[in-house]
């Protein structure tokens, strides 16, 4: 796919993913224009000060709750990456109406604006917490996924295609436990909710590369799931502060011991490739069903969870993954 003549817009473009995605686009893919769409003028200003002030960049102040502003921003756009969301589990639990307005109604606005403006490809970024959700954040992301998949039926004769990517925790991103452990390290005590807890982990670089690949290959209606390693949260704490005491505080409301990336029910419509799964739209006759020609059907009863994963990060692997964040933290960088 040739990106050089494309206009790309990123909702939530000032977040951890957005900044990395935009930097990668500028350095390697050179689209004609990249629009950073977000609601925080300070973060946009800080992005420009950090060196992300390329002539092809445009900074739009706007909230995905504002449909009219999205319609204005989407004019002439070829590709939308939808990364804007409220994603802190405790914050969503405490502010449920706000989570619904941003993660569900905001996603509907993105879809409506994209369809009306004739955007060709729209890819939403989802999370493992959307699978059999146990907290409100997961519920809102599941609803957003369903909206993106099913809204392909509204495309009609339009070229617009919509799909999702779904992956696990991003190491070192805002909301990650890594900065929390790094701060706790000085006290000599780290808090872990349960010593059995496991999580899927992916680096920001891997997440961005996967999203770019999915945009290039999406047909509409799919949920793309990368094969990524699991790690024990206890091992992560040990890797960050091997001398520290670990205090177990108990699972918080809305938290689960292990995460799912593909449920048993979804697996019936999913196909496997060497480095990813593609969950095809269920029972739909439009796009996104022909992946099964190339992939391998999953066995009956299959599910992809962080505790039954075949790929694990040991202590050395964890240390290697978090090394850049430890170095930045020790230097006093955010």
Cα gap 230→308, rounded to integer Å: 9
pLDDT of 114-163, one tens digit each?
A: 999 999 999 999 999 999 999 999 999 999 999 999 999 888 788 999 99
CATH 3.40.50.10090 fits 7-168+202-226+260-306, yes or no: no
Cβ(227)–Cβ(97) below 8 Å: no
What is the largest distance, in Å, between two alpha-carbon atoms of the chain? 62
Cα gap 107→100, rounded to integer Å: 10
- At 189 the pLDDT is 94
Q: Cβ neighbours of residue 234 under 8 Å, at least 6 residues apart?
A: 192, 195, 197, 246
- At 285 the pLDDT is 61
Residue extents of the structural domains in the chain: 7-168+202-226+260-306
- At 334 the pLDDT is 56
- At 255 the pLDDT is 84
Q: Which residues of the chain have pLDDT under 50?
A: none
End-to-end CA distance of the chain, in Å?
A: 35
CA angle 168, 226, 113 (to 5 degrees): 80
Give the Å distances, CA to CA, from 206 to 36, 40, 44, 125, 251.
Answer: 21, 26, 24, 13, 29
Residues annotated as catalytic (active site), given as ranges: 129
């Amino acid at each position: 796919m040739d990106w050089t003549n494309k206009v790309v817009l990123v909702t939530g473009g000032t977040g951890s993913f957005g900044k990395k995605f935009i930097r990668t686009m500028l350095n390697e893919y050179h689209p004609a224009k990249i629009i950073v769409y977000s609601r925080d003028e300070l973060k946009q200003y800080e992005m420009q000060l950090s060196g992300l002030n390329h002539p092809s960049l445009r900074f739009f102040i706007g909230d995905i709750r504002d449909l009219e502003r999205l319609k204005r921003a989407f004019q002439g756009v070829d590709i939308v990456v939808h990364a804007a969301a409220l994603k802190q589990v405790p914050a969503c639990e405490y502010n449920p109406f706000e989570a619904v307005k941003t993660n569900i109604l905001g996603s509907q606005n993105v879809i409506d604006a994209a369809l009306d403006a004739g955007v060709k490809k729209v890819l939403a970024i989802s999370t493992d917490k959307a699978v059999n959700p146990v907290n409100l954040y997961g519920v809102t992301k599941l609803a957003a996924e369903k909206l993106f998949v099913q809204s392909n039926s509204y495309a009609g004769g339009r070229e617009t295609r919509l799909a999702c990517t779904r992956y696990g925790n991003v190491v070192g991103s805002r909301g990650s436990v890594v900065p929390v452990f790094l701060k706790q390290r000085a006290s000599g005590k780290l808090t872990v909710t349960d010593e059995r807890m496991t999580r899927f982990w992916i680096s920001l670089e891997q997440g961005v590369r996967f999203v770019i690949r999915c945009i290039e290959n999406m047909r509409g209606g799919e949920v793309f799931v990368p094969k990524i390693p699991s790690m024990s949260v206890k091992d992560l704490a040990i890797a960050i502060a091997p001398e520290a005491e670990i205090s177990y505080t108990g699972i918080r409301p809305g938290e689960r011991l292990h995460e799912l990336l593909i449920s048993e029910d979804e697996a019936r419509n999913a196909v496997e490739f060497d480095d990813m799964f593609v969950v095809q739209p269920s029972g739909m006759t439009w796009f996104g069903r022909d992946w099964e020609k190339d992939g391998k059907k999953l066995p009956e009863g299959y599910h992809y969870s962080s505790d039954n994963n075949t790929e694990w990060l040991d202590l050395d692997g964890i240390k290697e993954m978090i090394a850049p964040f430890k170095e930045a933290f020790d230097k006093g960088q955010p």
